[in-house]
Amino acid sequence: MSKPVADIALIGLAVMGQNLILNMNDHGFVVCAYNRTTEKVKSFLENEAKGTKIIGAYSLKEMVDKLKSPKRVMLLVKAGAAVDAFIEQLIPLLSPGDIIIDGGNSEYQDTDRRTKELEKKGILFVGSGVSGGEDGARYGPSLMPGGNPKAWPHIKQIFQSICAKVNREPCCDWVGERGAGHFVKMVHNGIEYGDMQLICEAYHIMRNGLKLNPEEMSQVFEDWNKGELDSFLIEITKDILKYKDEKGYLLERIRDTAGQKGTGKWTAIAALDYGVPVTLIGESVFARCLSALQSERIEASSVLQGPDAIYQGDKKQFLEHLKKALYASKIISYAQGFMLLREAAKIHNWNLNYGGIALMWRGGCIIRSAFLGNIKTAFEKNPKLSNLLLDDFFANAMKECQASARIVVSTAVTLGIATPALSTALAFYDGYRTARLPANLLQAQRDYFGAHTYELLGQEGKFVHTNWTGHGGNVSASTYDV
């Protein structure tokens, strides 16, 4: 048998897989490429990988035989059953201490389960978030590995070589145990949903309310990208707005129904499961659901009345308010995302490095933006920070921007322009800064109709029931919650 030569194998030759292989090759690693449809291996070696050190395999056994020990196998296949199927086929071919890495968008509970199951067989499993799209995969993604910590020393060099760098610091570090890497990637994608929806609402206000043309809007985003809103998504929005083909501006001809692959929905579900008010990501998912009802919306637009949406004030001044509202809302979205990370870490006993996570997101990934450095600083200053909004930098930013957020949301309401994400950001901010919320009435209502009990101020921990009507009983409900 020939001597093993490959440093790592990668299964799955779709665009992300191919680009990651080429990236690894660029950094001096010998990669063995494999795909279930073996013609793809042949085509890849003869075309994109031609003239490189990349080798191919036409069976899983041949692939494993070409690997140096410990054998490292990375999967970039569809999440779910396909990952489990490949793991089942790989187990008999691998030895204790070998490593399987899942680089797809797997659900974190699946990664949790796989890490535990493979640990019993002596195989080290890693679930890694990979962000940055095809360009990131090719030239430097953000990587978020978690799983069995014993695997990290054996994959660290490869991962930190191929990832994006900011100020020469790698946008990749060990995230935490079991499903932590994929959970962090899921929250990253949820924040991405929020960022995109906020930008879409700003665009909607500019287009329908201020009646700006695509060139003017592109210029606004270009200006915004020079300041605190400097980010990948603002930058690409500027390019999208001014893109023209032979028929004119392309954006105005794109159908307004958005799809989703599930990670935003998973974030919203996790938020509900853990009781964390991640309202902005939730609204962003629902906004996509509403966009999908296009035929109903077209019918409703001819039946349901609303105001005529034209802004009458100073447009330049309003755009300054819109910039600040977008910035404030973005801060709230990230604050909510980190609240969810903190709660999940507590429940799963993950030792997450929050500043490190912010640093991983500064380059290579879709939500990369200037103020992630400020998030890292906030957690460095206070690793036990309960909420980003309580850090001086972010508290001051909100103080500076919240009046503008109120102007933008109230203006959008009077113009009849839907701003679910901008509105919920402000509602969360006001709720979070309110010492006394009306939940006392809610508790009274629950006790009135269902004898669910309540606590009195100053007597926390003691649950009491009132016979509100005089003809109810004194027995309280203890078996269910409403």
Among residues 183, 159, 162, 177, which one has the least CA distance to residue 109? Answer: 183
Diameter of the chain by CA atoms? 88
> What are the residue ranges of CATH 3.40.50.720 in the chain?
8-174
User: What is the model's pTM?
Assistant: 0.89
- Between the alpha carbon of residue 253 and those of residues 27, 283, 394, the distances in Å are 41, 25, 38
471 CB-near residues (< 8 Å, 6+ apart): none
3-class DSSP state for residue 55?
strand
| Bridge partners (DSSP) listed for residue 369 | 231
Contact predicate 163/140, CB 8 Å: yes
What residue ranges in 216-318 does DSSP mark as E strands?
Answer: 244-245, 248-249
pLDDT on residue 385? 93
pLDDT on residue 480? 47
The catalytically annotated residue of 185, 238, 265, 323 is: 185
The catalytically annotated residue of 40, 66, 71, 192 is: 192
The two three-digit tokens of residue 12, written as one number: 């799955």
Q: Which amino acid is at 446?
A: R
| Known catalytic residue at 320 | no
**Pairing between strand 165-166 and 169-170?**
antiparallel
How many other CB atoms are there within 10 angstroms of residue 262's CB atom?
14
| Bridge partners (DSSP) listed for residue 8 | 31
Rounded distance, CA 201 to CA 387, Å?
Answer: 26
Among residues 74, 65, 81, which one has the least CA distance to residue 8? Answer: 74
> What are the residue ranges of CATH 1.20.5.320 in the chain?
439-481
Among residues 435, 454, 436, which one has the least CA distance to residue 444? Answer: 454
Range 80-97 burial, b when 16+ CB lie within 10 A, else e: eeebeebbeebeebbeee
Can you state the angle between helices 279-291 and 180-204, rounded to 10 degrees? 60
Pick the CATH number of 185-433 from 1.10.260.40, 3.40.190.10, 1.10.3720.10, 1.10.1040.10: 1.10.1040.10
**Pairing between strand 248-249 and 244-245?**
antiparallel
Q: Which residues are annotated as a binding site for NADP(+)?
A: 12-17, 35-37, 77-79, 105
Q: Which residues are annotated as a binding site for substrate?
A: 105, 131-133, 188-189, 193, 261, 288, 446, 452
CA pseudo-torsion sign 141, 146, 151, 152:
positive
Task: Mark the ranges of the chain whose per-residue pLDDT is less than 50.
Answer: 479-480
pLDDT on residue 476? 67
Dump the DSSP string for 455-469: E-TT-TT-EE---SS
The two three-digit tokens of residue 56, written as one number: 């191919």
Architecture of the domain defined by 439-481: Up-down Bundle (1.20)
Contacts of residues 116-122 at CB distance under 8 Å and 24 or more positions apart, as own/partner, are 116/178, 118/87, 118/91, 118/148, 119/148, 121/91, 121/96, 122/95, 122/96, 122/97
Superfamily for 8-174?
NAD(P)-binding Rossmann-like Domain (3.40.50.720)
> What are the residue ranges of CATH 1.10.1040.10 in the chain?
185-433
The two three-digit tokens of residue 79, written as one number: 């999440």
Dump the DSSP string for 22-47: HHHHHTT--EEEE-SSHHHHHHHHHT
Contact predicate 98/71, CB 8 Å: yes
Q: Which residues are annotated as a binding site?
A: 12-17, 35-37, 77-79, 105, 131-133, 188-189, 193, 261, 288, 446, 452
pLDDT in tens, 69-109: 999 999 999 989 999 999 999 999 999 999 999 999 899 99
Contact predicate 342/145, CB 8 Å: no
pLDDT in tens, 22-77: 999 999 999 999 999 999 999 999 999 999 999 999 999 999 999 999 999 999 99
Report residue 395 CA to chain centroid gap: 23
| Known catalytic residue at 66 | no
The two three-digit tokens of residue 399, written as one number: 């103080």
